[in-house]
Structure 1
Amino acid sequence: MLQPMMIFFAQLLLVPILTMRTILVVKGMKKQACGIGMLEGFIYVFAIGLVFSDLSNYMNIIAYAAGFGTGVYLGGTLEEKLAIGYVTVEANVERYNDDLLNKLRDVGFSVSTNEVKGMNSVRYLLYCTARRDRENEFYKIIYKYEPTAFVVSYEPRKFEGGYITKSLKNRRELFLEKTKETFQFKP
């Protein structure tokens, strides 16, 4: 009974790691993905080695499949919680709404607007790129002020310039400054 448990827990660990590696590759973080990939390889060889060592032991095969399935669920949950990266959200609203724009900007969203022509009327399109962990916050604010808004989001692979790039640069400089202060050696 020890082998099936070891296989199950190896899969429970392996699949979320596999999920993270895939996300890092897609986000262009190849070095981090490489390190995680090595760990993934070790766990995979260990688990599959136990399964192949005795193919007549159906408990090992069931443990492998059950661990894989549960690991997929955990990996998806982990990815959702980490929300790595950025999201671009476009909200199509019926009218120009200063209260909505002010609220979004007050809580730190950078929002650009554009007047667009719909099928029967003029509408307004709001554009915002933000950290993925703030996407739901954006939706809540939009729907509070504009319940009939059409909202779509997607993940940008690369962006340069603008509010977010300045913000990232400022945070990086602040981090480096604090790190320098923390590790200054005084004789």
Structure 2
Amino acid sequence: MFSAEFLQTDLYNWVVLPLLIYVGRMSDVTLATLRNIFIARGIRKIVPVIGFFEVLIWLLAVSSIIKNLNNFMCYIAFAGGYSTGILLGVSIEKRLALGTQLIRIITNKQSQKLIEALRAANLGVTELDAVGSQGPVKILLVVAKRKDIGKVLSLVNKLHGSSFFTIEDILTAEQGIFPMKTGESRLQYLRRIFPAFKAGR
């Protein structure tokens, strides 16, 4: 990729090589961060592929440092790539919004309008009666895809702004009611929600 003469220049040793190490380390740590998050969320099918490229890039970065032990810029680039990779991995995972979460809403107000609004948005709602420190309350349980959490919270804040709610990750969720994807037919929606569903049955 580079000529033998260029590999001996100060530009390569002090700028290009550290930059390559930085990018390589950033890439492998980004993949490692995503891999760990995917494992924690139960998304395991893609993990071996991520692990393969993660280790491959790591080996290339480490081998470059071993060949240039006297170049302190390589150490700085390696450490900088590690820090950047963590931030980048978390940011990418947040944008992907993979997985499912449980929103637990506790309110002492009439909850029927909120329930109707959530169900109108194709979100499943389970209503429970309970008793809090200040008397009877309603507990609404909503299981939703992470990308739909904003929609749920928007409805809660609009209709029950003073309600207490918690959000927690769910490792696995089967069946249930989830919003249809854009451009998805009702038959495709049913097949996605109910894997055993077949046309004509």
Unaligned runs of 5+ in 2: 1-14, 179-187
Give the TM-score, by structure 2 length: 0.79
Give the TM-score, by structure 1 length: 0.84
Q: Structure 1 pair 95/172, CA: closer, same or farther in 2 (3 Å)?
A: closer
SS in 2 for 1:151: strand
SS in 1 for 2:37: helix
Say whether residues 1:171 and 2:185 are aligned partners. Answer: no
Partner of 1:83: 97
Letter in 1 for 2:121: V
Distance across 2 between alignment mates of 1:172 and 1:111? 16
Of residues 132, 147, 172, the one that matches 1:118 is 132
Distance across 2 between alignment mates of 1:6 and 1:154? 39
Of residues 6, 25, 33, the one that matches 1:19 is 33
Alpha-carbon shift at residue 23 of structure 1 (Å): 2.0
Of residues 96, 100, 108, the one that matches 2:114 is 100
Is the Cα–Cα contact under 8 Å of residues 128 and 140 in structure 2 kept in the other structure? yes
Distance across 2 between alignment mates of 1:22 and 1:103? 36
Partner of 1:180: none
Q: Structure 1 pair 89/173, CA: closer, same or farther in 2 (3 Å)?
A: closer
Say whether residues 1:40 and 2:54 are aligned partners. Answer: yes
Per-residue deviation, residues 1-40 of structure 1 (Å, max 9, x unmatched): 2110101111221122112211222233333101110000
Alpha-carbon shift at residue 52 of structure 1 (Å): 2.3
Q: CA RMSD in A?
A: 2.3
Deviates more, 1:19-28 or 1:4-13: 19-28
Is the Cα–Cα contact under 8 Å of residues 28 and 58 in structure 2 kept in the other structure? yes
Say whether residues 1:62 and 2:83 are aligned partners. Answer: no
Letter in 2 for 1:156: I
State the aligned residue count.
174
Letter in 1 for 2:22: F
Q: Structure 1 pair 131/14, CA: closer, same or farther in 2 (3 Å)?
A: same
SS in 2 for 1:30: coil
After superposition, residues 125-144 of structure 1 pair within 5 angstroms as 125-144=139-158
Is the Cα–Cα contact under 8 Å of residues 41 and 170 in structure 2 kept in the other structure? no
Alpha-carbon shift at residue 111 of structure 1 (Å): 0.7
Deviates more, 1:155-164 or 1:60-69: 155-164
Partner of 2:20: 6
Letter in 2 for 1:141: L
Partner of 2:9: none
Letter in 1 for 2:162: T
Distance across 2 between alignment mates of 1:30 and 1:161? 19
Task: Give the structure with higher Rg (CA).
Answer: 2
Unaligned runs of 5+ in 1: 178-187
